[in-house]
Amino acid sequence: MILVTGGAGFIGSNFILDWLAHSDEGIVNLDQLTYAGNLNNLAALRGDARHLFVRGDIGDQSLVAALLARHRPRALVHFAAESHVDRSIAAPGQFIATNIGGTFALLEAARAWWQCLPEPERAAFRFLHVSTDEVYGSLGADEPAFTERSAYAPNSPYAASKAASDHLVRASFHTYGLPTLTSNCSNNYGPYQFPEKLIPLMIATALAGRALPVYGDGMQVRDWLYVGDHCAALRCILAAGHPGEVYNVGGENEMTNIDVVRTLCDLLDAAAPARASYRQQITHVADRAGHDRRYAVDAGKLRRELGWTPAEHFASGIARTVHWYLAQGAWADEIASGAYREARWPSGGAA
Residue 191 phi, psi dihedral angles, 5° rounding: -60, 150
pLDDT score, position 75: 98
Is pLDDT above 70 for 248? Answer: yes
Is pLDDT above 50 for 103? Answer: yes
Write the pLDDT tens digit of every residue in 140-160: 999 999 999 999 999 999 999
Which residue type sits at 314? F
pLDDT score, position 350: 45
Cα–Cα distance between 172 and 178 in angstroms, integer? 6
Told to judge if 133 belongs to the known catalytic residues of this protein, a careful annotator would answer yes
Q: Which of 57, 133, 223, 298 is catalytic?
A: 133
Which residues sit opposite 284 in a β-bridge? Answer: 214
Angle, in degrees to the nearest 10, between helices 329-337 and 314-327:
70
Which among 188, 133, 187, 122 is positioned nearest to 156, based on CA atoms? 133
Residue 174 neighbours by CB distance under 10 Å? 11
Q: Which of 31, 57, 82, 158 is catalytic?
A: 158
pLDDT above 90 covers what percent of the chain? 95
Q: What is the CA radius of gyration of the chain?
A: 20
Told to judge if 152 belongs to the known catalytic residues of this protein, a careful annotator would answer no
Average pLDDT over residues 199-212: 96
Write the pLDDT tens digit of every residue in 271-320: 999 999 999 999 999 999 989 999 999 999 999 999 999 999 999 999 99
Write the pLDDT tens digit of every residue in 21-80: 999 999 999 999 999 999 999 999 999 999 999 999 999 999 999 999 999 999 999 999
Q: What is the mean pLDDT of the chain?
A: 96
pTM for this one?
0.96
89 near 288, Cβ under 8 Å?
A: yes
Told to judge if 134 belongs to the known catalytic residues of this protein, a careful annotator would answer yes
Decide: residue 21, CB within 10 A, 0-12 exposed, 13-18 middle, 19+ buried: exposed
Q: Which of 57, 134, 166, 252 is catalytic?
A: 134
Is pLDDT above 90 for 347? Answer: no
Average pLDDT over residues 223-243: 98
